[in-house]
Amino acid sequence: MTQQEAITLLKKQGYKMTQRREDILTFFAREDKYHSAKKLYEYMEEKYPGISYDTVYRNLHLYHDLGILEATDLHAEKHFRMNCSDKHHHHFICNTCGVTKKVKVCPMDEVESMLHSYQIEGHKFEIYGLCPGCQSA
């Protein structure tokens, strides 16, 4: 999802587009990687001294609920990134820096044949490890 698509969706859903909300989108749009709520808070605190952690967290969950952000758990903490709006795929996620790489193979192709009498309503497949940059660091 692009930043403009996210802004359009927020407005369409009746949410006011504030500078803070736009800055959150800018934070996620600038890099294709997962970020923690803490990292977003630190970014926002620089621009808006005194902003509450709750404000940042509420907006994160609003964006997630609307499908603007997707989430995963890294190191027992929720991390977020802009939602992919292109063709179905999965991700490799670096455990150190959070960078993602698309994986175009889906294990569900085989799993669906094994579960032919079950109704599958969704799935998530993620691979975790170290990206080349973090391996050499």
- The total of structural domains in the chain comes to 2
Same domain, 99 and 74: no
Single out the residue in 82, 103, 127 at which a domain terminates: 82
The tens digit of pLDDT for each residue in 15-34 reads: 999 999 999 999 999 988 89
Q: What pLDDT is recorded for position 86?
A: 67
Same domain, 27 and 61: yes
Q: Which residue range forms the structural domain that includes residue 34? A: 3-82
Q: What pLDDT is recorded for position 57?
A: 93
Note the pTM of the prediction, 2 decimals: 0.78
The tens digit of pLDDT for each residue in 60-95 reads: 999 999 999 999 888 888 999 998 866 777 889 898
Dist. CA 113–CA 125, nearest whole Å: 17
| Residue keyed to tokens 């977003």 | 40
What value does the CA radius of gyration of the chain take, rounded to a whole number of Å? 17
The DSSP element (H or E) to which 93 belongs, if any, is strand 90-94
Residue 131 vs residues 42, 88, 128: alpha-carbon distances, Å:
24, 22, 9
Same domain, 75 and 129: no
